[in-house]
Amino acid sequence: MAGGKIKKEKGKPQQHTPYQGGISFHKSKGQHILKNPLLVDSIVQKSGIKSTDVVLEIGPGTGNLTKKLLEAGKKVIAVEIDPRMVLELQRRFQGTPYSNRLTVIQGDVLKTELPYFDICVANIPYQISSPLTFKLLGHQPAFRCAIIMFQREFAMRLVAQPGDKLYCRLTVNTQLHARIFHLLKVGKNNFRPPPKVDSSVVRIEPRKPRIEVNQKEWDGFLRICFNRKNKTLGAIFRQKNVISLLEKNYKTVQALKLSQEGPLKETETKMDLSNLGDFMDDEGMEMEGRTDDDDDEMEVEDGEAEEVRSEFKDKVLGVLKEADFEEKRSSKLSLQEFLYLLSLFNKAGIHFC
């Protein structure tokens, strides 16, 4: 259960699963409550919570995990969108030693300004996986780690390595900002009501210090590289529409240099990740009919294999040849190689935003 967006399914009756306390869970809203106490204990243990930690819990539901977090940390801030669950939390901990250490915020976590916290623990509606991940990664000051339950396929995309089938633009974008580790697989029967898919718990550790990069430039670069991740970079950057786009950017940059009568000022490198999740995979809890490369498509048309002969095209391909990237494929490039290649393009005056 989580404090995220509630998505309604049109034309379908809402599915309800009764809770012994009288609360019904709505599968259509991503309300799947952890019912296995051993799994709850394992998540808390792997979180490494200190007695001095402020813990942010997203989607506390009826408070099964909340109780364990209160026992381990100094304070718990719980963000919950469902007013019924908020009342249940307040009722459950009222008059207990934990009541003064629990703060409940009712609202959509994606629209809520998050307070300071050391650790985040979340069992979320899987349709908000991507925007929530990037909201957390953009949070300042940076937290120590986040322990989050994701749909298994989404989780495996986050931890994928170059050459893995699920390695994609989402992978590289998240690993730019954080180190991500797979902790454990969670079967669907550990939830009430059970979802249609298995889940995984991952640990996200924001990079300190951050890798400085112009986020718009980086995103535009990755969109082109992952246009067809199994094609060679040489084939991708020979496409007519790609050359046309980059040449337009190149001419704009050159014109700006001339108008400023000096070197072009560096674009602001402060990272704003608030909207980055909109570009990534919003993989639903019970999605069906996906293919492995659905998220690896550029938003521009793929273009034909039509060759365009120009001095600028030679310049672009020259960058690839210079560092031996022409025959390499995005599906097998590491984060460091992507950063290096982008720096070579920028050094040649070629930009992606």
Q: Is 26 annotated among the ligand-binding residues?
A: no
| Cα separation, 281 vs 149, whole angstroms | 16
| Cα separation, 142 vs 130, whole angstroms | 18
Helix (H, G, I), strand (E, B), or coil: what is residue 22? coil
Q: Is 59 annotated among the ligand-binding residues?
A: yes
Q: Is 57 annotated among the ligand-binding residues?
A: no
> Is the Cβ–Cβ distance between 4 and 59 less than 8 Å?
yes
**Burial class for 78, CB neighbours closer than 10 Å (0-12, 13-18, 19+):** buried
> Is the Cβ–Cβ distance between 213 and 176 less than 8 Å?
yes
- Show Cβ contacts of residue 289 under 8 Å, excluding neighbours closer than 6 positions: none
Q: Is 80 annotated among the ligand-binding residues?
A: yes
Q: Is 219 annotated among the ligand-binding residues?
A: no
Q: Is 108 annotated among the ligand-binding residues?
A: yes
Residue showing tokens 């394992």: 42
- Show Cβ contacts of residue 277 under 8 Å, excluding neighbours closer than 6 positions: 130, 131, 132, 133, 134, 135
| Cα separation, 347 vs 319, whole angstroms | 9
Query: What CA–CA distances, in Å, run from 235 to 194, 225, 231, 239, 304?
Result: 45, 10, 6, 7, 11
Among 146, 173, 195, smallest CA distance to 281 is for 173
Give the HSE-up count for residue 120: Cα atoms under 13 Å, Cβ half-sphere: 30
DSSP conformation class of 290: -
- Show Cβ contacts of residue 350 under 8 Å, excluding neighbours closer than 6 positions: 246, 249, 250, 315, 316, 319
| Cα separation, 124 vs 151, whole angstroms | 9
Annotated binding site for S-adenosyl-L-methionine: 32, 34, 59, 80, 108, 123
Would you list which residues are annotated within the binding site? 32, 34, 59, 80, 108, 123
